[in-house]
């Protein structure tokens, strides 16, 4: 039998409006917050107003007597029930893993930490009663600055650990045997450029705040949660609370965005789980926007000391990245691992013969950090692309020329970098040439010269970012080497219904990415069924117990292959049935254009999968050994990551009198291999770029000196709206991924990773004649203006 690549209906590669959007956009769906169960109680959480304090007393008498209140409890009240928050990525053998009780026991370590819970008949009653709880805090000194936290004698976030250092993780190409020695390169270098970059702290501002409903009254305890990771949540709830796994069912209904912020197993979920078991009643907890900003994990927050070495002719010889990464007060499920995801990317698309990365994770009295779109890779790409521009200035070269001289050429793949990754494919020149064509690079440079010559108060800057990234998280073997506790495989099940319709159960857990649509397109082509004949089921551990969920732009690169493989198994299973129906030998059949026929005989009788599905349903007359169903499962674990790449170009106008930055044009040419749904991909790139621009120009989480979050609402924490964003010009080149049956690479984070350095490089480029060689993010008008004033004062 021959199963060739199937594209009979040409669904793959076609713009398809997203199936799920009608219900998502109109809100006619079961968001967790919409769920109401009989007898359900509402929870409200009292949070610490202090960044560091001992709890010396809690008096909840008045709250307990308040109208509608059923229960008030604190950490010690549920010490046996609440379990401990897990971290599944201790990156070194000696990573410090402090105890992390969901509800504080006797000390709070960041503002917003949960201290007490009210369960009441309505949310309003629960919130009102919170105000009646008296907590005595004995303030303790706070440590917020990462370098201060690492200094001798620093205030300790966790006294019992004896240190604020969480870990130090090193990747050295000389030691690993993947490249030369950076120290030697630095000693011999003709040019050395060093820079410190600050990755400010960001808040993943998902549209739907987190919400959890727990029903303990059935055979299983059922939790609905607005999460990216229902499968991971189930196993960690089980391990964290000692509840048998088969007695827990987790459902992620439609989820209103996550951006990494819901790649978490949260104290609030554990608290709701404990409350439901304590009260033996269904409970609901939905956070307010302020709670989300204060206590859902934050992202980025690194100090990056970068050194690049080169020869005068522009050949780079070494890259070293020395990081301090803020963990916050506690560890989320993968907090220590976030910088490590970037560790392999500081060399980007360039041939650095020597490479060294060192990161120290540090505890401070702040909200914990964890994944935020790109997780480690935007930070790495930013530092690399910024310092490539600084090196170009040092060498008096055009920044694009420097990149061209050093990038991996298309005939050099597969290419193993000095960081130890093997990039499978790419064509950096092609993407860059296309971007330049769309951007009008030469004309913009000309205009820039003219504005500089006439000392125009509005200067033009041009920013370049040529990137690659490792996504498609998997492979399990590599994750294991990095001490990540779980695997990276993904699963898919295809159920052929008797009438030829198809149900797909995927282990991915979409929260805005449109998997129902893209998976339907893949299945339609693989099985020769209609796009509308496919139903995609996800996010319920009762329907699918096998899944690793959605993050790290992994769903298509890993889950998509599992799906293709499952479809192929369906076809293989149907082959003897079709042969029987066609009265042919199975060895003589082929499956093309969605139907079985005798090989090489177009126009002859055919049987579709629907014919076969009905025949097995009847099972009146099947050959011996043929099962009465065509269902198939597949689990896939790739050998390698997925490596999308591209070139983003940005032109900004900077008003040197006011500091205002306006993006004049933005071109992104991405290469994500073959595209399943161009419309979805454009949406992913748009959203991704918006978030990258947001880091460059708008967003920053700020704490005051006492550890209060002063950017805790959208008034102080500025997320850009559509009017703040430029018209984006998008295009793609297509270098198929060799290891993927459809040739596809991931796209979910690419826009975010590429865009931040493109924008900041443009801002710095505009101000370069003033002697400015860096502007700290976000480049707000105030910060740009202050930088200009400082430069003028120094001149
Ligand atoms: N796709 C495609 N062709 C390709 C690559 C992808 O058609 N060559 C499609 C896929 O079929 C899928 C979508 O693009 O529908 C994204 O695919 P993929 O790159 O596999 O990423 P994931 O589905 O694993 O999504 C995770 C990624 C991440 S890590 C973040 S963060 C993020 C993102 O997706 N968060 C999002 N996009 C988001 N989009 C929305 N609306 N909301 C979020 O929270």
User: 3-state secondary structure string, 684-703?
Assistant: HHHHHHHHHHHHHHHCCCCE
Bridging pattern class, strands 534-537 and 589-592: unpaired
Is any atom of ligand 1 closer than 6 Å to the C-beta of 556?
yes
* Residue 676 confidence class, pLDDT cut points 50, 70, 90: very high
CB 331, CB 368: distance < 8 Å:
yes
ipTM of the complex: 1.00
CA 583, 575, 533 angle in degrees (round to 5)? Answer: 115
- Alpha carbons 661 and 658: distance in angstroms, whole number: 9
**Which pair of tokens denotes residue 179?**
């490249």
Please state the separation of Cα 120 from the chain's center in Å.
Answer: 35
**Residue 514, ligand 1, Cβ within 6 A:** yes
**Separation CA 121–CA 281 (nearest Å):** 11
Q: Would you say the CB of residue 44 lies under 6 angstroms from ligand 1?
A: no
CB proximity list for 698: less than 8 A, separation 6 or greater:
718, 719, 720, 724, 778, 780
Ligand 1 binding pocket includes 746 (Cβ within 6 Å): yes
Regarding the beta carbon of 511 and ligand 1, being less than 6 Å apart is answered yes
CA 183/CA 203 separation, integer angstroms: 37
Q: Inform me whether the pLDDT recorded for 117 exceeds 50.
A: yes
Q: How far apart are CA 136 and CA 115, in angstroms?
A: 11
**pLDDT tens-digit map of 158-184:** 999 999 999 999 999 999 999 999 999
684 CB near ligand 1 (under 6 Å): yes
Give percent of the chain above pLDDT 70. 99
User: Looking at the predicted structure, is the pLDDT value of residue 2 above 50?
Assistant: no
- Which of 491, 635, 549 lies closest to 230 in space, CA to CA? 549
Residue 534, beta-bridge partner list: 502
Distances (CA, A) of 488 to 196, 237, 265, 641: 34, 19, 17, 10
Atom number, ligand 1, closest to the C-alpha of residue 512: 41
Q: What is the CATH number of domain 2-28+489-636?
A: 3.30.365.10
- In ligand 1, the atom with minimum distance to the C-alpha of 746 is 19
For the residues of 208-245, what is the DSSP string, one character each? S--EEEEE-SSSSEEEEE--S-HHHHHHHHHHHH---G
How remote is the CA of residue 739 from the centroid of ligand 1, in Å? 19
Kind plus residue range of the DSSP H or E element containing 729: strand 728-733
pLDDT of residue 657: 97
- Please give the number of the atom of ligand 1 that sits closest to the Cα of 747: 19
Count how many Cα atoms sit within 13 Å of the Cα of residue 384 in the half-sphere of its side chain: 36
Query: How many residues does the structure list for the chain?
Result: 795
CA distances from 135 to 8, 54, 104 (A): 67, 10, 12
pLDDT, tens digit, for every residue of 305-337? 999 999 999 999 999 999 999 999 999 999 999
Cβ–ligand 1 distance for 550 under 6 Å, the answer yes
Tell me the whole-structure pTM to 2 decimals.
0.97
For ligand 1, say whether the CB of 745 is within 6 Å of any of its atoms: yes
Cross-strand pairs, 380:
none
User: Which residues 6+ apart lie within 8 Å of 477 measured at CB?
Assistant: 637
pLDDT tens column, 561-574:
999 999 999 999 99
pLDDT at 688: 98
Q: Does the C-beta of 204 come closer than 6 Å to ligand 1? A: no
Q: Could you identify the atom of ligand 1 that is nearest to the CA of residue 678?
A: 7
Tell me the percentage of the chain whose pLDDT exceeds 90: 97
3-state secondary structure string across 595-611: EEEECCCCCCCCEEHHH
- pLDDT tens-digit readout, 720-740: 999 999 999 999 999 999 989
The CB of 504 under 6 Å from ligand 1? The reply is no
Once rounded to an integer, what is the mean pLDDT over residues 351-371?
98
Phi and psi, residue 414, nearest 5°? -70, 145
Residue 413: Cβ within 10 Å count: 16
DSSP conformational letter for 719:
-
Q: Compute the distance from residue 594 Cα to the ligand 1 centre, in Å.
A: 28
* Burial class of residue 481 in the structure, from the number of CB atoms within 10 Å of its CB (0-12 exposed, 13-18 middle, 19+ buried): exposed
Tell me the chain's radius of gyration from C-alpha atoms.
28
Task: For residue range 643-671, list pLDDT tens digits in order.
Answer: 999 999 999 999 999 999 999 999 999 99
- The pLDDT tens digits of the residues spanning 378-435 come to 999 999 999 999 999 999 999 999 999 999 999 999 999 999 999 999 999 999 999 9
Ligand 1: does its nearest atom lie under 6 Å from the Cβ of 562?
A: no
Please name the residue whose Cα sits nearest to atom 30 of ligand 1: 259
Task: Find out whether the beta carbon of 748 lies less than 6 Å from any atom of ligand 1.
Answer: yes
Residue 480, classed as helix, strand or coil, is: helix
Q: Kindly tell me if the per-residue pLDDT of 3 is higher than 60.
A: no
Position in ligand 1 atom list of the atom nearest CA 514: 15
Tell me the C-alpha distance between 194 and 319, whole Å. Answer: 10
Question: Is the Cβ–Cβ distance between 142 and 155 less than 8 Å?
Answer: yes
Cα angle, residue 466 at apex, residues 340 and 450 outer, rounded to 5°: 135
pLDDT of amino acid 7:
46
CA-closest candidate to residue 419, choices 170, 95, 167, 755: 170
Q: Is the CB of 515 under 6 A from ligand 1?
A: yes
Question: Strand 458-468 relative to strand 422-423: parallel, antiparallel, unpaired?
Answer: unpaired
pLDDT of residue 601: 85
Give burial (CB, 10 Å; 0-12/13-18/19+) of 391: buried
Whether ligand 1 lies within 6 angstroms of the CB of 672 is answered as yes
The DSSP bridge partners found for residue 369 are: 298
| pLDDT the model gives residue 1 | 42
DSSP 8-state symbol, 727: P
Kindly indicate the confidence band of residue 9, based on its pLDDT and cuts at 50, 70 and 90: low
Tens digit of each residue's pLDDT (9 = 90 or more) over 187-233: 999 999 999 999 999 999 999 999 999 999 999 999 999 999 999 99
Is residue 743 within 6 Å of ligand 1 at its C-beta?
Answer: no
DSSP string, 21-35: HHHHHHT-S--GGG-
Q: Which two tokens stand for residue 664?
A: 């004049």
**Nearest residue CA, atom 40 of ligand 1?**
512
Element (H, E) at 786: helix 781-794
The whole-number average pLDDT for the span 77-81 is 95
**Span from the CA of 549 to the centroid of ligand 1 (angstroms):** 12
- Checking if the pLDDT of 254 tops 60, the result is yes
Distance (angstroms) between ligand 1 centre and the Cα of 680 equals 8
Across residues 113-142, what is the average pLDDT?
98
Alpha-carbon distance of 241 to 270, in angstroms, equals: 8
What pLDDT, on a 0 to 100 scale, did the predictor assign at position 172? 98
pLDDT tier for residue 5 given thresholds of 50, 70 and 90 = very low
For residues 576 and 580, give the distance between their C-alpha atoms in angstroms, rounded to a whole number: 6
The phi and psi torsions of 703 (rounded to 5 degrees) equal: -110, 145
Cα gap 301→324, rounded to integer Å: 9
pLDDT on residue 190 = 98
Give the residue, out of 227, 257, 296, 556, with the most ligand 1 atoms within 8 A of its beta carbon, to mutate for a pocket test.
556
Residue 748 Cα to ligand 1 middle (Å)? 4
Question: Ligand 1 centre and the CA of 262: distance in Å?
Answer: 14
pLDDT score recorded for residue 30: 84
Which residue among 256, 548, 747 has the greatest number of ligand 1 atoms within 8 angstroms of its CB, and so is best to mutate? 747
Closest CA to 499 of 624, 618, 625, 634: 618
pLDDT digits (tens, 9 = 90+) for 17-51: 999 999 998 888 989 999 999 999 999 999 999 99
Any idea which residue has 């009905």 for tokens?
614
pLDDT in the model for residue 786:
98
pLDDT of res. 638: 96
Give the per-residue SS3 of 629-666: CCCEEEEECCCCCECCEEEEEEEEEEECCCCCEEEEEE
pLDDT digits (tens, 9 = 90+) for 583-624: 999 999 999 988 999 998 888 899 999 999 999 999 999 999
Question: What is the best residue among 377, 539, 671, 684 to mutate for testing ligand 1's pocket, by most ligand atoms within 8 Å of CB?
Answer: 684
State how far the Cα of 673 lies from the Cα of 561, in Å rounded to an integer.
14
Q: Is the CB of 563 under 6 A from ligand 1?
A: no
Contact indicator for 81, 277 with CB cutoff of 8 Å: yes
């Amino acid at each position: 039998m021959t199963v060739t690549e199937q594209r009979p209906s040409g669904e793959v590669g076609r713009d398809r409006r997203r199936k799920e959007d009608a219900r998502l956009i109109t809100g006619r769906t079961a968001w967790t917050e919409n769920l109401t169960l009989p007898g359900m109680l509402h929870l409200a959480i009292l949070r610490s107003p202090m960044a560091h304090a001992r709890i010396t007393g809690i008096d909840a008498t008045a709250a307990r007597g308040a109208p509608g209140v059923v229960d008030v409890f604190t950490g010690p009240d549920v010490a046996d029930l609440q379990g401990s928050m897990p971290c599944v990525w201790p990156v070194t053998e000696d990573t410090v893993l402090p105890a992390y009780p969901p509800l504080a026991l006797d000390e709070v370590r960041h503002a917003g930490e949960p201290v007490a819970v009210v369960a009441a008949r309505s949310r309003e009653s629960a919130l009102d009663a919170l105000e009646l709880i008296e907590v005595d805090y004995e303030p303790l000194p706070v440590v917020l600055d990462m370098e201060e936290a690492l200094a001798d004698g620093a205030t300790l976030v966790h006294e019992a650990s004896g240190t604020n250092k969480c870990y130090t993780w090193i990747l050295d190409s000389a030691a690993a045997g993947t490249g030369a020695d950076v120290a030697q390169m630095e000693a011999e270098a003709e040019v050395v450029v060093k820079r410190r970059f600050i990755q400010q702290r960001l808040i993943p501002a998902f549209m739907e705040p987190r919400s959890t409903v727990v029903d303990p009254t059935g055979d299983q305890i059922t939790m609905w949660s607005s999460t990216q990771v229902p499968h991971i949540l189930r196993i960690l709830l089980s391990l964290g609370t000692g509840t048998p796994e088969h007695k827990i069912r987790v459902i992620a209904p439609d989820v209103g965005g996550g951006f990494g912020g819901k790649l978490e197993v949260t104290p609030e979920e554990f608290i709701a789980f404990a409350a439901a078991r304590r009260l033996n009643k269904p409970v609901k907890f939905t956070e307010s926007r302020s709670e989300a900003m204060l206590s859902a994990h934050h992202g980025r927050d690194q100090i990056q000391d970068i050194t690049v070495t080169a020869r005068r002719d522009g050949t780079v010889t070494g890259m070293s990245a020395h990081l301090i990464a803020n963990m916050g007060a506690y560890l989320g499920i993968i907090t220590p691992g976030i910088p490590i995801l970037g560790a392999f990317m500081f060399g980007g698309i360039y041939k650095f013969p020597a490479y060294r990365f060192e990161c120290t994770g540090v505890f401070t009295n702040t909200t914990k950090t964890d994944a935020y779109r790109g997780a480690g890779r935007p930070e790495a790409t930013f530092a690399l692309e910024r310092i490539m521009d600084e090196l170009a200035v040092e060498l008096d070269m055009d920044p694009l020329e420097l990149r061209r001289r050093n990038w991996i050429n298309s005939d050099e793949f597969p290419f193993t970098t000095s960081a130890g990754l093997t990039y499978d494919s790419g064509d950096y020149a092609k993407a860059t040439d296309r971007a330049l064509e769309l951007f009008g690079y030469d004309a913009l440079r000309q205009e820039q010269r003219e504005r500089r010559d006439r000392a125009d108060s509005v200067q033009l800057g041009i920013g370049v970012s040529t990137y690659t990234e490792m996504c498609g998280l998997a492979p399990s073997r590599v994750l294991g080497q990095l001490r990540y506790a779980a695997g990276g495989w993904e699963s898919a099940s295809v159920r052929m219904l008797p009438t030829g319709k198809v149900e797909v159960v995927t282990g991915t857990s979409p929260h805005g990415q449109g998997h129902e649509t893209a998976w339907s397109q893949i299945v339609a082509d693989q099985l020769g069924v209609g796009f509308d004949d496919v139903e995609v089921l996800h996010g319920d551990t009762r329907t699918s117990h096998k899944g690793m969920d959605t993050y790290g732009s992994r769903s298509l690169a890993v889950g998509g292959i599992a799906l293709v493989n499952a479809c192929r198994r369906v076809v293989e299973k149907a082959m003897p049935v079709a042969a029987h129906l066609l009265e042919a030998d199975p060895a003589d059949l082929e499956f093309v254009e969605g139907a079985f026929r005798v090989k090489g005989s177009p126009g002859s009788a055919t049987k579709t999968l629907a014919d076969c599905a009905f025949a097995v349903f009847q099972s009146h007359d099947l050959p011996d050994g043929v099962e009465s169903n065509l269902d198939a499962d597949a689990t896939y674990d790739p050998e390698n990551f997925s490596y999308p790449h591209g070139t983003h170009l940005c032109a900004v106008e900077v008003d040197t009198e006011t500091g205002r930055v306006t993006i004049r044009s933005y071109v992104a040419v991405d290469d994500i291999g073959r595209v399943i749904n161009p419309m979805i991909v454009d949406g992913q790139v748009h959203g991704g770029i918006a978030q990258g621009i947001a880091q460059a120009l708008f967003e920053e989480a700020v704490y005051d000196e006492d550890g209060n979050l002063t950017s805790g609402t959208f008034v102080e924490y500025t997320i850009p709206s559509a009017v703040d964003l430029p018209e984006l010009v998008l295009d793609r080149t297509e270098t198929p991924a060799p290891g993927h049956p459809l040739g596809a690479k991931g796209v979910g984070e690419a826009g975010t990773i590429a865009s931040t350095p493109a924008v900041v490089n443009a801002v710095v480029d505009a101000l370069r004649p003033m002697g400015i060689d860096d502007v700290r993010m976000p480049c707000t008008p105030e910060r740009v203006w202050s930088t200009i004033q400082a430069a003028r004062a120094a001149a």
